[in-house]
Structure 1
Amino acid sequence: MKAYEPINEAIGETGELFVRNLSYRTTEQDLDHLFSPFGRITNINMPIDSLTKQPKGFAHVTFMFPEHALGAFNQLDGHAFQGRLLHILPGKTQQQKEQDSLESTKNQV
């Protein structure tokens, strides 16, 4: 259980899950149906490839309450969904997002 402590802490801080290994046919509605039993979802973001116009196979799911995200993580990580095993990680914290943005700005100069 100790291995999950940093993950649980990160999810508890953001309420956001990064969901990988999705089928390219998965829709936002599919994810809403899968995750909504755990609590109210405030955002689902599924990036689309600019060339193929198809989903990239991952998504960010944000819950209103972080404890709901934690429940979804504990129940669905490694769960089979549409013929694939889900791999769920914590979303980035605000500090990580700011650091990524700062590094991106430095690389553009």
Structure 2
Amino acid sequence: MRPPNTSLFVRNIADESRPEDLRREFGRYGPIVDVYIPLDFYTRQPRGFAYIQYPL
């Protein structure tokens, strides 16, 4: 059996969004382990989505 999913996928975030901003907004739903905002390989700009990981 697979362990429960603890990652939240968030779309359409602003390019100016920082991990601290997302921690503040989504931290009200529980403690956050990690916030990952992927960057475009060539432009090094945010790709417009993020992953927020909560503990098990």
User: TM-score, normalised on structure 2?
Assistant: 0.83
Aligned residues: 53
User: Is 1:21 aligned to residue 12 of structure 2?
Assistant: yes
**CA–CA distance in structure 2, aligned partners of residues 46 and 39 of structure 1:** 19
Structure 1 unaligned blocks of 5 or more: 1-12, 66-109
Identity of aligned residues (%): 34
Q: Which consecutive aligned stretches of 4+ in structure 1 deviate over 6 angstroms post-superposition?
A: none
The residue that corresponds to 1:45 in the other structure is: 36
Question: 1 or 2, which has the higher helix percentage?
Answer: 1
Q: How does 1:46-65 map to 2 (within 5 A)?
A: 46-65=37-56
Structure 2 unaligned blocks of 5 or more: none
Does 1 or 2 have the higher relative contact order (CA < 8 Å, sep 6+)?
Answer: 2
User: TM-score, normalised on structure 1?
Assistant: 0.46
